[in-house]
Structure 1
Amino acid sequence: MRAAHISSRAGSAWKPFASKSYGTRRFRSTAAEAPATASLSPRWLSDVKERIGKCLTFGADEKQTQKAGLVLSEIARDWRELVAGSEGFLTDAKRRGIYRQEVVWGEMDAMGHVNNVMYNRYAESGRVQWTQKLGMHIDPANRDAWRTVMSPSEAGLILKSITTHFKFPMTWPDHIDVFHKLRSEPTSGTSSFVLDVLIMSELHQRPAAKLVEDIVVYDYKKGKKISLPPFMLNVFGDTWKLQEEAKTRNSERVSRLLEDVRKLEHSTWDRSDAVEHMGSAGS
């Protein structure tokens, strides 16, 4: 994809949204349907681990310790789904763009962190893999058509603009994941769409950057913009529904995990008779 415009800026964390219940599943996104993580600190996973550690230092009993272990195990196993999935990104192997790609030492600059340009390159590589996997795994009947969207031959995708919001400076060594999602449900007749991009640091288990890509559908033979071809529209429509399902499902998981941690706090250190367990002086 060719980039017509690139803009980057350092951004703070996403603005908080009001909390809400995620008991009802719906497939149409509205402004009120923010993910459960929208109002949380970007470091919320690390915060949860610290909170559980504090609970354990106050002498949690066997049942409480088992519950803490279950929470920690779920975070360790599914942190990508909890962080990215709760925002609607699809993290399974058939749909993710980049998975556990190593950050190379040479990608750092004189300031000692990954150069800003690299984030756009990560997003570009992830976007190429994302579209190609749609053809390989989701719509194999149109595999050849999906392959050509990345070449100037027929109907292709052009990057009109990209905006990068840097969250924290990554350094080597680390690994990254790159996920793409549709910002809105595609409709017949549209000639462009917007993709949200999430670049995740494995070392810190949180977003290193969030990007917004404006994509135009272009017919290279006719030399003009065209509407989304039917094969793209169908796949994007199904993808949108899966994104909404993922956001609801994983937001519910996050809410439940946070409730479990709060219950642990109430039953361990956050009570009037709590005494911190410092170990035996004679041991």
Structure 2
Amino acid sequence: MRSTVTRLQQSMLSRVVSEYSREAKPAAAAVSKAAKAPPKAGRKWPLSIDNKQPLNAISLSPRELYKRIGKCLAFGCDPDQTQRAASLLRTINDEWRNLHAVSQGFHDPKNSAYTVRLRDGEPSHRPWLGTSQASTLTQVAEQSIARFLDRVLETADPQDRLEWERLRDNQTFNETLTTMYCHNGATPQTRAFPTLSLEPQVISAYTRLLSNDYEERSTFRFKVVIYSHKHFTKIADLNIKLKTWTHDRNPLPWLSRELKRVAELTSTDAERNDAHGYARYIAKMVTTLELGTWRRPDAKEDFGSAAP
């Protein structure tokens, strides 16, 4: 059974976001503007197409930040603090998925995310090894890859664009693209899939090229991560292997050239550093809110001051 404080926090969060939706916009803009400031010089976050150098993902936990803000509201906030709390809640809700995606090397996540609603959730049974070809999330991942390849096609040179269209539309019997397998790359200890995906919810998927063995094996792999808007967490981290089949079993020169271009469609060092800087800024603002409420030296608890 949930505690009284937890119920109060959830009730207050709902009222605050509703009441301050208009007033919070200027503050939210201020948060976004400040986040665009150049971060301090520091460590570079490496990215390797062969995945030998793991990216340093943002440790920002939106669920934990929500709890911390809720504790401030439950303790008692003045109107200015309540407005800042609402602004932070909206910023976290709008930005955390893209921040995590950028930190993991995904290119232009705001414009490339594939967002869809799981109307029926996953099947009621657990698939072996956490994923299967029949899984709803696997189908979402394949749709995300299709959207990603659409953007690749749109940005290709005219001649290569025609080749992509032929491959996409299966206009020749000599060239076929097929999915070989789908593997859940999340570790068993952190694998939220499929328990958090057994219900209707909105999810967003991000795609990038993970490895390229095309010239040797005619295969290449995509990494697709899927985030739950409802649970504020990553519910799948899928590696999907694709293979092209040709009549002479030789790689297609144009595709070999294009995959090298696709490998460059990742976030840059500067973008990843900016994402980490933005995450630190949000965390700092939450700490500032705490220092002005329940962590203030002369603080006195007042559950009613945040009420409308």
TM-score (norm 1): 0.70
How has the CA–CA distance of structure 1 residues 135 and 173 changed in structure 2, closer, same or farther, with 3 Å as cutoff? same
List alignment gaps of at least 5 residues for structure 1.
1-20
- Paired with 1:110 and 1:279, the residues of 2 have a C-alpha distance of 43
- Paired with 2:296 and 2:214, the residues of 1 have a C-alpha distance of 58
Q: CA deviation at 1:245?
A: 4.5
List alignment gaps of at least 5 residues for structure 2.
1-38
Please, which of 256, 260, 265 is the counterpart of residue 285 of structure 2? 260
- Do the aligned partners of 1:36 and 1:251 also contact (CA within 8 Å) in 2? yes
Letter in 1 for 2:199: W
Any idea what the Cα deviations from partners look like across 1:109-152, whole Å, max 9, x if unmatched?
A: 3459998522222212221221122212x326333222344447
- Paired with 1:189 and 1:233, the residues of 2 have a C-alpha distance of 11
- Paired with 2:293 and 2:47, the residues of 1 have a C-alpha distance of 39
Please, which of 288, 291, 294 is the counterpart of residue 269 of structure 1? 294
Q: Is 1:182 paired with 2:209?
A: yes
Question: Residue in 2 aligned with 1:92?
Answer: 110
Any idea what the Cα deviations from partners look like across 1:185-207, whole Å, max 9, x if unmatched?
A: x7996765442211122222321
For the aligned residue pairs, the C-alpha RMSD in angstroms reads: 3.6
1:109-120 matched pairs, under 5 angstroms: 109-111=123-125, 117-120=135-138
- Paired with 1:161 and 1:115, the residues of 2 have a C-alpha distance of 10
TM-score (norm 2): 0.65
Number of matched residues? 247
Question: Residue in 2 aligned with 1:220?
Answer: 246
Residue aligned with 1:60, SS: coil
1:40-79 matched pairs, under 5 angstroms: 44-79=61-96
1:146-157 matched pairs, under 5 angstroms: 146-150=164-168, 151=170, 153=173, 157=177
Residue aligned with 1:213, SS: strand
How high is the sequence identity, in percent, across the aligned residues? Answer: 22
- Paired with 1:128 and 1:251, the residues of 2 have a C-alpha distance of 29
- Paired with 1:154 and 1:133, the residues of 2 have a C-alpha distance of 24
- Paired with 1:36 and 1:112, the residues of 2 have a C-alpha distance of 29
Q: CA deviation at 1:24?
A: 4.7
1:168-179 matched pairs, under 5 angstroms: 168=193, 169=195, 170-179=197-206
- Do the aligned partners of 2:47 and 2:55 also contact (CA within 8 Å) in 1? yes
How has the CA–CA distance of structure 1 residues 179 and 75 changed in structure 2, closer, same or farther, with 3 Å as cutoff? same
- Whose helix proportion is higher, 1 or 2? 2
- Do the aligned partners of 2:46 and 2:54 also contact (CA within 8 Å) in 1? no
More divergent stretch after superposition (218-227 vs 268-277): 218-227
- Paired with 1:29 and 1:254, the residues of 2 have a C-alpha distance of 19
Question: Residue in 1 aligned with 2:156?
Answer: 139
Question: Residue in 1 aligned with 2:141?
Answer: 123
Residue aligned with 1:268, SS: coil
Question: Residue in 2 aligned with 1:163?
Answer: 183
More divergent stretch after superposition (109-118 vs 201-210): 109-118
Letter in 2 for 1:47: E
- Paired with 2:139 and 2:63, the residues of 1 have a C-alpha distance of 28
